[in-house]
């Protein structure tokens, strides 16, 4: 067989056509008028055999930078973290990577328990009593939170800080179109945090919710307690927080600051960068909103013999199919990546997670110090987790091209989304960056910066 990965033979085709009583594949399209049929072949390359195809794809893949050969200081929502080897061993088991939604609990206890453990760990990290079984990514989780807040408060105005991830803000805007929501963006103060004076100005009885990121996109840690006091002055207005769950291994969780919904992305736990996706979103909230949570919830119960067991609870998939009664467009979850995050969190452990978060903070501060010694300006001096902004003398794209030639993946070009921050770079320093890597990077960047 010439194309082993295309198993259908000419004999197979003939047998199928004979069975349905037609003489050729073209006869299958006889109902389509000749005038609208394509009279030529598709403009595609000729098919290659398996060896040639694998060779071509390998050559294409080889043109990409990878995190095994390059040292990365790029973050902005996708991070290079330590992934315990046990993660791949567990998620590669066929009972997990082939599993679909566990509708039949009697044959899905392993999958259901894995999801339940994910929910439990997210609940503990965020300080919220309820967490769902996961969502597609952090951006969609945040947009779902916005929609929930509008439905719950019956209000149409949502205040979103410009320090929230730009791509998440775009997702919110897209979701808002269908709900006819008014999205008001709150500016950035000189310290790289949300402008609280502007926030207070826009807060009123029509505000459904306020959206804050913690730590924010610029790396700064927002004053959630102060923001919550402003919000709670307006009855019914909800406080939505998008948060890096690794940072919550060290920082006070948003639940303790009065957040109504906490969302985020668990890519930081056990999920490789892999070109920006797929990821795994989480959604945590209060018991009051338990029946409004999008996606799925797994609950713990006992069977007829009194044995511990797990089931999908509170919501059925059919609820989301009847559009007039649906609370969300989401009727699935990111089970395999949620499992990867659960395995990573379990193997790292509670104390290990705290130490991992602390390492991110310490190494980021060491990098900040070394860059300042190279006369590179660190723009915001407030408290931060593992990302910070530097100002450079040249366009970031040019500097990153030079860094790549020296074996480094540089930071994110903030000028792409914040015109006022042209020539500013957002750097991320994670626990796996070594002292030598940081020292060399700072020295090379200092030489380029001049």
The yes-or-no verdict on residue 226 having pLDDT over 70 is: yes
Nearest Cα to 52, choosing from 1, 3, 7?
A: 3
> pLDDT tier at 83 (50, 70, 90 boundaries)?
very high
Cβ pair 445, 376 in contact under 8 A: yes
pLDDT-derived band at 323 (thresholds 50, 70, 90) equals low
| Tokens encoding 153 | 């408060």
Which of the pair, 97 or 77, is modelled with greater confidence?
Answer: 77
pLDDT for 1 beyond 50: no
Q: What is the pLDDT of residues 151-196, one digit of tens each?
A: 999 999 999 999 999 999 999 999 999 889 999 999 999 999 999 9
Mean pLDDT of 353-378: 98
Within a 10 A sphere around the Cβ of 39, how many other Cβ atoms?
Answer: 5
Tokens of 86: 């046990």
pLDDT digits (tens, 9 = 90+) for 199-223: 999 999 999 999 999 999 999 999 9
pLDDT in tens, 94-132: 888 877 777 788 888 988 999 999 999 999 999 999 999
Query: For residue range 381-398, what is the model confidence (pLDDT) as tens digits?
Result: 999 999 999 999 999 999
* Whether the predicted pLDDT of 286 surpasses 50: yes
Q: Mapping DSSP to helix (H, G, I), strand (E, B) and coil, where does residue 409 land? A: strand
DSSP 188: B
Interatomic CA distance for residues 416 and 217, integer angstroms: 13
The pTM of the full predicted model, rounded to 2 decimals, is 0.89
pLDDT of residue 279: 95
> Helices then strands (H, E): number in the chain?
13, 15
The yes-or-no verdict on residue 24 having pLDDT over 80 is yes
pLDDT category of residue 72 using cuts at 50, 70 and 90 = very high
The per-residue pLDDT for 104 is 80
C-alpha 172/C-alpha 450 separation (Å) is 40
Backbone angles phi, psi at 205, to 5 degrees: -70, -5
- If one counts every other C-beta atom within 10 angstroms of the C-beta of residue 271, the result is 26
% of residues, the chain, pLDDT over 70: 95
Of 291, 284, 337, the C-alpha closest to 115 is 337
Q: Is the pLDDT of residue 332 over 80?
A: no
The verdict on whether omega for the bond into residue 215 sits within 30 degrees of 0, i.e. cis, is yes
**For the residues 247-273, what does the mean pLDDT come to?**
97
Contact between residue 134 and residue 334 where contact means Cβ atoms under 8 Å apart: yes
C-alpha distance across the termini of the chain, in Å: 61
Output the average pLDDT for the chain. Answer: 92
Which carries the bigger pLDDT value, residue 358 or residue 320? 358
Q: What pLDDT, on the 0 to 100 scale, is given for residue 322?
A: 65
Nearest to 196 by CA among 169, 162, 145: 162
Q: Identify the band that residue 48 occupies on the pLDDT scale cut at 50, 70 and 90.
A: confident
Give 245's strand partners. none
Q: How many CB atoms lie within 10 A of CB 266?
A: 30
The residues facing 301 across adjacent strands are: 309
Give the pLDDT of residue 90: 94
The neighbour count for residue 184, using CB atoms within 10 Å, is 15
Please tell me the number of Cα atoms within 13 Å of 392 on its side-chain side.
27
Choose the weakest-confidence range: 125-129, 273-277, 306-310: 273-277
Task: Say if strands 71-72 and 408-409 run parallel, antiparallel, or are unpaired.
Answer: parallel
Q: Which residue has the higher pLDDT, 318 or 439?
A: 439
What pLDDT does residue 296 have? 86
**Mean pLDDT across 72-80:** 97
Phi and psi at residue 434, to the nearest 5°: -90, 165
Mean pLDDT of 393-413: 96
Reference 211, options 189, 227, 200; nearest CA is: 227
pLDDT of res. 5: 63
Domains of the chain and any CATH numbers: 1-36 (no CATH), 71-83+349-449 (3.90.1150.10), 86-343 (3.40.640.10)
Residue 50 pLDDT > 90, yes or no? no
């Amino acid at each position: 067989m010439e194309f082993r990965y295309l198993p259908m033979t000419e004999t197979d085709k003939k047998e199928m056509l004979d069975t349905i009583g037609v003489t050729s594949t073209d006869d299958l399209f006889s109902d389509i008028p000749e005038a609208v049929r394509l009279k030529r072949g598709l403009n595609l390359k000729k098919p290659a055999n398996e060896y040639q195809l694998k060779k071509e794809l390998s050559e294409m893949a080889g043109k990409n930078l990878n995190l095994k050969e390059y040292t990365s200081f790029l973050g902005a929502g996708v991070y290079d973290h330590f992934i315990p080897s046990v993660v791949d061993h567990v998620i590669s088991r066929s009972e997990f990577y082939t599993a679909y939604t566990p509708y039949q609990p009697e044959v899905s206890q392993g999958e259901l328990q894995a999801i339940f453990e994910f929910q439990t760990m997210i609940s503990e990290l965020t300080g919220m009593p309820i967490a769902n079984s996961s969502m597609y990514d952090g951006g969609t989780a945040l947009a779902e939170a916005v929609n929930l807040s509008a439905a719950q408060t019956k209000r149409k105005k949502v205040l979103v800080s410009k320090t929230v991830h730009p791509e998440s803000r775009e997702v919110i805007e897209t979701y808002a179109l269908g709900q006819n929501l008014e999205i008001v963006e709150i500016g950035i103060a000189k310290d790289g945090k949300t402008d609280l004076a502007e926030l207070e100005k826009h807060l009123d009885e029509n505000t459904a919710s306020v959206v804050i990121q913690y730590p924010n996109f610029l790396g700064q840690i927002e004053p959630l307690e102060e923001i919550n006091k402003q919000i709670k002055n307006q009855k019914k207005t909800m406080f939505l927080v998008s948060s890096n769950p690794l940072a919550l291994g060290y920082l006070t969780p948003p639940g303790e600051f009065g957040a109504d919904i906490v969302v985020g992305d668990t890519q930081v736990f056990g999920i490789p960068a892999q070109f920006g996706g797929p990821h795994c979103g989480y959604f945590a909230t209060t018991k009051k909103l338990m029946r409004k949570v999008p996606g799925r919830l797994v609950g713990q119960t006992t069977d007829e013999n009194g044995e511990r067991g797990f089931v999908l609870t509170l919501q059925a998939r059919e609820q989301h199919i009847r559009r007039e009664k649906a609370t969300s467009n989401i009727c699935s979850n990111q089970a395999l990546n949620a499992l990867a995050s659960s395995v990573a969190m379990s193997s790292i452990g509670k104390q290990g997670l705290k130490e991992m978060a602390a390492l991110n903070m310490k190494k980021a501060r060491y990098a900040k110090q070394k860059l300042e010694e190279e006369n590179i300006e660190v723009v915001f001096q407030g408290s931060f987790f593992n990302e910070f902004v530097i100002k450079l003398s040249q366009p970031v794209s040019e500097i990153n091209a030079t860094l790549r030639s020296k074996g480094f993946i540089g930071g994110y070009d903030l000028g792409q989304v914040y015109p006022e921050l042209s020539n500013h770079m957002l750097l991320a320093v994670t626990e796996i960056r070594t002292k030598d890597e940081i020292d060399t990077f700072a020295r090379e960047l200092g030489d380029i910066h001049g």
